[in-house]
A and B are shown apart, each in its own frame.
Chain A
Amino acid sequence: MKAVALSRLLSHDLPRSRVLAILLVLTIAGLLLTPFIFPGAKALGVAAKIAVFILLVASYDLLLGYTGIVSFAHTMFFGLGAYGVAIASTRLGAGWLAVVLGLASALLLSLLLSLVIGLFSLRVRAIFFAMITLAVAAAFQTLASQLSDLTGGEDGLSFKVPEALTPGFHLTSWFDGRLITYYGIVMVVAISFLLLLRFVNSPFGRVLQAIRENDFRAEAIGYRTVVYRTWSNVLAAAFATLAGALLALWLRYNGPDTSLSFEIMLDILLIVVIGGMGTMYGAVLGSALFLIAQNYLQELLKLAGGAVSGVPVLSLVLSPDRWLLWLGVLFIVCVYYFPTGIVGRLRLRRV
């Protein structure tokens, strides 16, 4: 009976690979137990960021992996959510009202923007949409740094969160506001992830996949592909906005570099491709691996760089600052040889 309930919770989209299932359980357990196993603020910070990115990347996977459209404006919606909470909290003062109001207005704006972009440019080919979103995202980024009265410009905004989420608040002697925030984020991410899983396994999700495989045929069967694509875009934007709000609540700060920058867009792309396009679970594994690598691989590279410090070329490309170089190479290799990413590979092995 328990297995049936679990399967239902996962919308019957099970990992379908023993290794994958074990890795997923490990990741989830890791996220839940981080505060107890790994001491220190850094580990908790990385774990919270992993949780936020799971939602962000999963929402992007809905777009890229399931619908087959490339958008470069996903950080724009991420940033909208973060700025929504940040601006509302600065203007209205700390409080739940500010958080809710900020998130609600950010969601509304995201919906409108994604609807307009979708209707405007999803009628034509994928490439066109990719270019338009790139341009719009760039414009939004400059807008955010220009409106410094509202957004704090390049410096960003530091703001106060509701009291229950501050480190000074103690539920019990050790369960403080930070942990409340952390578990709150994990919970919201878990619910949203299950929702996304439900979306992609619903008839709606099947239509999206049909559009990805052959939009002409999907249209011929009688589905209005523009409408479905636009819906996919709007849904992805909404979840990205939510992820942005969560990140802002965790950091108690938001600026262009933390939520809007193009680097984050690249990170999302890398995670989706490496984790596995069109597999929601790829977002979980990918985010965990990527962020751990981002935060700890650099130290490993430092060791490697130290070992070859005498060699002129090697020491340059192995320096810890160049870790993105290796991720880029990994990314290209992934697109060639493992188009379905880690998850796709693991599922293949089962057969």
Chain B
Amino acid sequence: MSTLPTTIAAPAGVPEAKFDFVPLLLVAAVAFAALPFISASTWVTLTVAGLAMGMIVFIIASGLTLVFGLMDVLNFGHGVFIAFGAFIATTVLGAMSGYTAPGLGANLVAIFVAMLVAMAFAGAIGFLFERVIVRPVYGQHLKQILITMGGMIVGEELIKAIWGPQQIPLPLPEALRGAIVLGDAAIERYRLFAVVIGLAVLVALLYTLNRTKIGLLIRAGVQDREMVESLGYRIRALFVGVFVAGSALAGLGGVLWGLYLQSVVPQIGAQVTVLIFIVIIIGGLGSTLGCLVGALLVGLVANYTGFLVPKAALFSNIALMVAVLLWRPQGLYPVTNR
């Protein structure tokens, strides 16, 4: 976690913002609070599962929260990109059936190809979505909600038209099935894989946001859009880029999520939408770091309660959201000017 925003050296004279560690500690606290109730080996399994789920949700939600932060657009149709990603994965992995037989190298090739294709498609769809659906309604929240919802309906129906309305199995490639046994704890291979991919995305995202000029502009745009525009940068072009990137990330997340569930239905996007909304509300609308912390919290809490009190698992997310909002009404990492 040492790559977080604080490490940027501030120019002399500008006081460096103090980094807020409390939400990060909260994640650790939640993890350790669950320890006394669960045996150590199960705890390891559940924690890895929770982190894996959190990472996948983070990948999906990061684009949404950035788009909201930068352009004040809340995309209720974000789920469409997830669904497209997952369905493209079924097609690609189905076509590459030769590569999904045993053999780690070949399997990884198949999955990476599926991810790349899904990202490319989701990005392209995102570009169209921005052009056709979102662009005419900038600045009008009510219309945005309605129209992106309409986009979601159309997207879901298109998926049904292309792939059919039924559930499609999305089996894991051979090498990623099964679990690694560490002592008493069984850790599913795919979950480790998801954590690794999630970390890679996180590092790439943090690097882009914190160490590149584009990232600087994006963060500046989140803080104060007009100021960036008045300095001569075309924030609209930047926004299209962020929207496309966010859609591509959702596509990637869709592949991972589909493999996590091992089957896909056309409603997959709508189902995840609720989850990612909870995550970005917990994190503070528009905050990337908050999105990560929110996703991890949701993943961990969902897995612990799923094990301890299965009946309550479905409400753990809502309860978590209410608790966090009672503590910090603007989310864990509020974006200052909103």
List residues of A whose CB falls within 8 A of some B CB: 64, 68, 70, 125-128, 130-132, 134-136, 138-139, 142-143, 146, 262, 266, 269, 273, 316-317, 319, 321-322, 324-325, 327-329, 331-332, 335-336, 339
Q: Using A68-B142, A316-B161, A332-B151 as known contacts, list a sample of 14 further A-B pairs with CB atoms less than 8 Å apart, ordered by residue number in A.
A: A70-B142, A70-B145, A127-B141, A131-B74, A131-B281, A135-B317, A139-B315, A324-B153, A325-B157, A325-B158, A331-B146, A332-B150, A335-B137, A335-B150
- Residues of chain A with a CB closer than 8 A to B165's CB: 321
What is the CA–CA distance of A266 and B50 in the complex, to the nearest angstrom? Answer: 32
**Across-interface contacts of B150 in A (CB, < 8 A):** 328, 331-332, 335
* A342 → chain B closest CB, angstroms: 16
B29 adjacent to chain A (CB < 8 Å): no
User: What are 22 A-B contacts with C-beta separation under 8 Å?
Assistant: A64-B142, A130-B76, A131-B277, A132-B281, A134-B277, A135-B277, A135-B317, A135-B321, A136-B318, A138-B274, A139-B317, A321-B165, A325-B153, A327-B153, A328-B151, A328-B154, A328-B157, A332-B147, A335-B137, A335-B150, A336-B136, A339-B143
Given contacts A143-B314, A321-B165, A327-B153, contact A130 B321 (CB under 8 A): no
The residues of A that contact B273 with a CB separation of less than 8 Å are 134
Is B160 a contact partner of A321 (Cβ separation < 8 A)? yes
A-B interface, 8 closest residue pairs, ranked by CB to CB distance from nearest: A325-B157, A328-B153, A328-B154, A332-B150, A331-B150, A142-B314, A131-B277, A138-B274
Q: How far is the CA of A316 from the CA of B315 in the complex (A)?
A: 39
Q: A273 CA to B133 CA in the complex, in Å?
A: 16
B311 within 8 A of A: yes
CB distance from B147 to the nearest CB of A (A): 5
Chain B residues contacting A128 (CB-CB under 8 Å) are 281, 285
B318 contact set on A, CB distance < 8 A? 135-136, 139
**Closest A residue, CB atoms, query B274:** A138
B149 within 8 A of A: yes
In the complex, the chain B residue whose C-beta lies closest to that of A130 is B145
| Contact present for A126 and B157 (CB under 8 Å) | no
CA–CA, A132 and B321, complex, Å: 9
Asked if B161 contacts A325 (CB within 8 A), the reply is yes
Q: How many interface contacts (CB-CB < 8 Å) are there between A and B?
A: 89
Nearest A residue to B161, CB-CB: A316
Is B136 within 8 A of A139, CB to CB?
no
Question: Does the CB pair B142–A126 fall under 8 Å?
Answer: yes
Residues of B296-338 contacting chain A, CB below 8 A = 311, 314-315, 317-318, 321
| A273 cross-chain contacts in B, Cβ below 8 A | 146
Q: How far is the CB of B278 from chain A (nearest CB, A)?
A: 5
Residue among B76, B150, B165 with the most chain A CB within 10 A? B150
- A336: chain B residues at CB < 8 Å are 136, 147
B202 beta carbon closer than 8 Å to chain A: no
Q: How far is the CA of A329 from the CA of B153 in the complex (A)?
A: 9
B146 touches A146 (CB 8 A): no
Which residues in B have their C-beta under 8 angstroms from that of A335? 137, 143, 146-147, 150
Q: How far is the CB of A287 from chain B (nearest CB, A)?
A: 18
In the complex formed, the residue of A with least CB distance to B76 is: A130
A331 touches B141 (CB 8 A): no
Q: Tell me which residues across on chain B come within 8 A of A130, comparing CB atoms.
A: 74, 76, 145
Q: Are B153 and A331 in contact (CB under 8 A)?
A: yes
Docked complex Cα distance between A127 and B285 (Å): 10
Across-interface contacts of B157 in A (CB, < 8 A):
322, 324-325, 328
Which residue of B has the minimal Cβ distance to A125?
B141
**Cα(A339)–Cα(B145), bound, Å:** 13
Q: Which residues of A contact B14 (CB under 8 A)?
A: none
B51-85 interface bits toward A, Cβ cutoff 8 Å, 1 = contact, 0 = none: 00000000000000000000000101000000000
- Chain B residues with CB under 8 Å of A135's CB are 274, 277-278, 317-318, 321
Q: In the complex, what residues of A have CB within 8 A of residue B133's CB?
A: 332
Q: How far is the CB of A209 from chain B (nearest CB, A)?
A: 14
The residue in chain A whose Cβ has the minimal distance to the Cβ of B153 is A328
Does B22 sit within 8 A of A, measured CB to CB? no
Minimum Cβ distance to chain B for residue A338 (Å): 12
Specify the chain A residue showing the minimal Cβ separation from B273. A134
Interface bits B148-169 vs A (CB < 8 Å: 1, else 0) = 0111011001101110010000
| Nearest CB in chain A: distance from B296 CB, A | 18
Q: Which of B187-226 contact A (CB under 8 A)?
A: none
**Min distance, Cβ B156 to any Cβ of chain A, angstroms:** 8
Asked whether, in the complex, the Cβ of A127 is within 8 Å of the Cβ of B314, the reply is no
In the complex, per-residue mask of B266-278: 1 if CB is within 8 Å of any chain A CB, else 0:
0000100110011
Chain B residues near A64 (CB-CB < 8 A): 142
What is the distance, in angstroms, from B137's C-beta to the closest C-beta of chain A? Answer: 8
Minimal Cβ-Cβ distance residue in A for B322: A120
Q: Which residues of A contact B160 (CB under 8 A)?
A: 321-322
Chain A hits for B270, CB < 8 A: 262
Contact residues in A for B162 (Cβ distance below 8 Å):
316
Question: What distance in Å separates the Cβ of B80 from its nearest Cβ neighbour in chain A?
Answer: 11
Kindly provide the distance from the CB of B142 to the nearest chain A CB, expressed in whole angstroms: 6
Interface centre among B146, B165, B318 (most CB of A within 10 A): B146
Instruction: Please give the distance in Å from A215's CB to the nearest CB on chain B.
Output: 12
Collect the chain B residues with CB atoms within 8 Å of residue A138's CB. 274
Residue in A138, A142, A143, A319 whose Cβ sees the most chain B Cβ within 10 Å: A138
A139: contacting residue among B76, B153, B285, B314, CB under 8 A: B314
- With a 10 A CB-CB cut-off, give which of B141, B153, B160 has the most chain A CB atoms: B153
For A331, the closest partner residue in chain B by CB is B150
Question: Chain A residues near B314 (CB, 8 Å)?
Answer: 139, 142-143, 146
Bound complex: CA A131 to CA B275 (Å): 10
Instruction: Determine the residue in chain B with the shortest Cβ distance to A124.
Output: B329
* Shortest CB distance A16–B (Å): 24
Q: How far is the CA of A329 from the CA of B133 in the complex (A)?
A: 11
Docked CA distance A123–B74 (Å): 18
Q: How far is the CB of A344 from chain B (nearest CB, A)?
A: 14
Chain A hits for B145, CB < 8 A? 70, 126-127, 130
Chain A minimum-CB-distance residue to B73: A127
Alpha-carbon distance A328/B76, docked complex (angstroms): 14
